[in-house]
């Protein structure tokens, strides 16, 4: 519960970054390179459940996906960018 709350709020209110993403110099944006809304950030967190439910295939798919999107990015129409 607290993790969904933390990730949803930080990603939507902090320009697509959590503390860890800021340290790694990456951020999450919509496909049109605009910041996520609160609802989109919440939906992206739901995608993490799908990643675990697929036996981690939802996360590993970044290696063969042309846009390097994991399942949570596909669910929310987002990308993770280096900044």
Q: What is the pLDDT of residues 22-46, one digit of tens each?
A: 999 999 999 999 999 999 999 998 8
Q: Confirm whether pTM is higher than 0.75.
A: yes
Cβ neighbours around 57 below 10 Å, total = 13
**Mean pLDDT of all residues belonging to the chain:** 91
Average pLDDT over residues 51-61: 90
User: Residue 52 and residue 75: Cα distance in Å, rounded?
Assistant: 14
User: Residue 55 and residue 66: Cα distance in Å, rounded?
Assistant: 21
List the beta strands (DSSP E) in 1-83.
26-30, 78-82
Largest CA distance in the chain: 32
The domain ranges of the chain are: 2-82
Residue whose tokens read 């996360």:
59
């Amino acid at each position: 519960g607290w993790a969904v709350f933390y990730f949803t709020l930080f990603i939507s209110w902090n320009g697509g970054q959590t503390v860890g993403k800021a340290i790694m110099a990456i951020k999450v944006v919509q496909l049109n390179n605009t910041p996520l809304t609160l609802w989109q950030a919440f939906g992206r967190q739901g995608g993490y459940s799908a990643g675990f439910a697929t036996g981690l295939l939802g996360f590993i798919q970044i290696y063969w996906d042309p846009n390097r999107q994991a399942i949570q990015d596909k669910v929310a129409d987002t990308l993770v960018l280096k900044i």
